Amino acid sequence: NAGVTQTPKFRILKIGQSMTLQCTQDMNHNYMYWYRQDPGMGLKLIYYSVGAGITDKGEVPNGYNVSRSTTEDFPLRLELAAPSQTSVYFCASSRGLAASYNEQFFGPGTRLTVL
Amino acid sequence: EDKVVQSPLSLVVHEGDTVTLNCSYEVTNFRSLLWYKQEKKAPTFLFMLTSSGIEKKSGRLSSILDKKELFSILNITATQTGDSAVYLCAVELGEYGNKLVFGAGTILRVKS
């Protein structure tokens, strides 16, 4: 049981390049989330999904896109990388609102630098 | 606007000391409050609190919630160097998506 896995661990992009951050969970969780964490800050929600085919914007969605075609996978797409997107990105999953114990489990993170 | 405020932002203690970390919140639809520990990688879950006045305990760590005064504390007794980390407080919103609103974290450094 791997939990939440993310690839890649590190990436350097040039301004204007695009990339996809991968996230997979094997806990059969319904809900999945993408966060970014800037130095000295808490986590900010980018996008979230309550099930396959359903995605919604979080607090800081600009410059990002997501899709959720399966329960397991929730990739995050950066279309035109900007220096402001330099951050550490975390994917997380949870059982869902109906669950009585609903903590979010986090992946190991992707450290992205845009130069 | 939903917000979570943690204090202090950072502190340095010696091994064996007891520390208290604070978390206050103002949100429109509270469901639970969570504490996470982050050691240069993914946050790991510590506690989830939903009811006021009921202490949750795990070894040397304990936490309690006050829903009337809108705050929680995380206590660590007999601190060890392995407790050095960022401690994150988050409030789970009781609405579509179970979104978490995070505080900025408290950086704890335990010196030997």
Q: In angstroms, rounded to a whole number, what is the distance separating the alpha carbons of residues A41 and A1?
A: 30
Cβ separation of A40 and B104 shorter than 8 Å? Answer: yes
The count of structural domains within chain A is: 1
Backbone angles phi, psi at B96, to 5 degrees: -45, 120
Task: Give A80-107 pLDDT, tens digit per residue.
Answer: 999 999 999 999 999 876 656 678 999 9
Q: What is the CA radius of gyration of chain A?
A: 13
Q: Is residue A81 part of a domain?
A: yes
Distance of residue A12 Cα from the nearest chain B Cα, in angstroms: 18
- Name every chain A residue with its beta carbon within 8 A of the beta carbon of B34: 103-104
For range B8-23, the mean pLDDT: 97
User: What pLDDT does A31 receive?
Assistant: 94
Cβ separation of A42 and B102 shorter than 8 Å? Answer: yes
Question: Domain containing A90: what range?
Answer: 4-98
Task: Give A42-69 pLDDT, tens digit per residue.
Answer: 899 999 999 999 999 999 999 999 999 9
Q: Which fold, B3-111?
A: Immunoglobulin-like (2.60.40)
Check which CATH number belongs to the domain holding A32 and give it: 2.60.40.10
Percent with pLDDT over 90 in chain B: 84
Q: Is residue A104 part of a domain?
A: no
Cβ separation of B103 and A42 shorter than 8 Å? Answer: yes
Q: In angstroms, rounded to a whole number, what is the distance separating the alpha carbons of residues A102 and B75?
A: 23
